[in-house]
Chain A
Amino acid sequence: MLEALTALVTETVADAAGEWDVAGEIPAGVLRGLGAKGVLCAEAAPEFGGLGLSGTDNGALTAHTGTLCSSLRSVMTSQGMAAWTIQRFGDPAQRARHIGRLTGGDLAAVAFSEPGAGSDLAAMTTEIRREGGGIVVDGTKTWITVAGYADLIVVFGRHGSGGAVALVPASAPGVRVTRVPEPLGCRAAGHATVVLDHVRLPEENLLAVAGQPLAMLTTIALTYGRLSVAWGCVGILRACLTAVARHAAQREQFGKPLLRHQLVARHLAELYAAERTATFACERASRSWDSGSPEQVPASVLAKHVAAGNAARGAASAVQVLASAGAAGGHVVERAYRDAKLMEVIEGSNEICQLMLAEHAASSAR
């Protein structure tokens, strides 16, 4: 099954990734087509119309997609995290209904960050409250990946003294979605600001977990997102590695291939090491995810941290080696350079990952 899915992604993207990046848009039909085949949230269970892939196989699919197009991979991360959030926090009826939509062609965004709550997610002020037999959602979410395409926005917010998650249809009265103009990276991933102005929804749209601490809710949801982003960074590294290896073998300067120039060879060696170590960190995390080991939690943070840093450094060195050959808008290494930098910022910035890893290391050594 994995092989058929990677072939489907290859065939769907074909040579369009550069064009999508420059246009800032992936055709909606492409996204819905992949969504309806279950590819965008491939771990969703067959009982909900999903493909039931293991975390390890979904990681391989995510990396493959990231090799071709980080914008599409971002859509995959978002859709997968939405499905996981509903699986984890919803009751059986909510799971059947809403995960079923996500495997049926509807697109989903997950909304955490706000103007005053980025790394400090506990500072979010979006309010989800019960009122008149239903719920009301009020707040502003910024830089929400996929929101520009989404049918469903999975909104995290405050609920009494804890937190809650509301499923907000993008078409609901009071929802305003405004695209981020020309994002630095993953330009076709539909980043947008979402204003929620007194959005009234039925009680059924409040996931069953309501009232638990916000930090617990965001940690559980983001563990999926971090591992997915980490695999996406492996994809970026593989694309850069291929581009650099080919270019360094073919291009000649000073009478010999670039590869025979030691300073260039070092770039290739470091890129190879970066791709391998990121892959190993991701494989380790996905295996612990699949086996249900508690190690999956710190291992996902570690994988994200290692892979994002490696991708940012690796993409920069790829641009260095390809130079003018890779510097035109939409080129695979030019995209990688911008996309990878964004990966050091999202789903827990480098610094937030470092704080979590430091805390984990300190408690393990006590």
Chain B
Amino acid sequence: MTDSTTELPVAAIEQRIGAFLAAKTKLTWEPEEDLFTSGAVSSLFAMELVVFVESTFQVAVEGPDLAMDNFRTVRAMSSLVTRLRSGGDGA
């Protein structure tokens, strides 16, 4: 599932995640800002985030990788994506 031929820089990943969040929440998110303590994110939206990350970056987020901490901030999501795209399983 990992397309290792395409290297995606962190900035590009974070830009796409930021755009998705902005479209959905109508708010701008700093890379380290906690989405979940803000109250802007419901459990439905948390699952939307998982599906968004999977389909946009062509990765499978399963088992222990589904940890909320991996989705807590824009930076956490980009780290997850970078790790999964490089084939790492350091969960």
Q: How far is the CA of A93 from the CA of B74 in the complex (A)?
A: 31
B18 to chain A, nearest CB (A): 15
B19 located at the interface, meaning its Cβ lies under 8 Å from any Cβ of chain A in the complex: no
Report the bound CA distance from A211 to B64 in whole Å: 9
A216 and B64: CB pair below 8 A? Answer: no
Q: Which residues of A contact B24 (CB under 8 A)?
A: 363-364
Taking a contact as CB atoms closer than 8 A, the residue among B52, B63, B66 that contacts A216 in the complex is B66
> Is the beta-carbon distance between B44 and A297 smaller than 8 angstroms?
yes
Assess whether A208 is in contact with B64, with CB atoms less than 8 Å apart.
yes
In the complex, whether B8 has a CB less than 8 A from a CB of chain A is: no
Given A363-B24, A363-B25, A366-B25, CB of A292 within 8 Å of CB of B55: yes
Contact: A359 with B42, CB < 8 Å? Answer: yes
Residues of A within 8 A of B48 (CB): 294-295, 297-298
Is A292 within 8 A of B51, CB to CB? yes
Cβ contacts under 8 Å, B47 to chain A: 216, 219-220, 223, 297
Q: A292 contacts B40, CB within 8 Å?
A: no
Instruction: Determine, out of A82-90, A151-159, A335-343, the stretch whose residues face the partner at the interface.
Output: A82-90
Query: Does B30 touch A at the CB level, under 8 Å?
Result: no
Cβ of A330 < 8 Å from any Cβ of B?
no
CB closest residue in chain A, given B27: A366
Closest-by-CB residue of A relative to B48 is: A294
Partner of A209, one of B42, B43, B55, B66: B66
Q: Is A345 an interface residue (CB 8 A)?
A: no
A213-B51 Cα distance, complex, nearest whole Å? 17
With contact pairs A87-B62, A366-B25 given, residues A294 and B49 touching in the complex (Cβ less than 8 Å):
yes
Q: What is the CB-to-nearest-CB distance from A226 to chain B, in angstroms, rounded to a whole number? A: 11
Offer 11 A-B interface pairs, CB within 8 angstroms, sorted by A. Answer: A88-B62, A208-B63, A212-B66, A212-B67, A213-B43, A216-B43, A219-B43, A293-B51, A294-B52, A297-B44, A360-B44
Query: Which B residues lie at the A interface, using CB under 8 A?
Result: 20, 24-26, 40, 42-52, 54-55, 62-64, 66-68
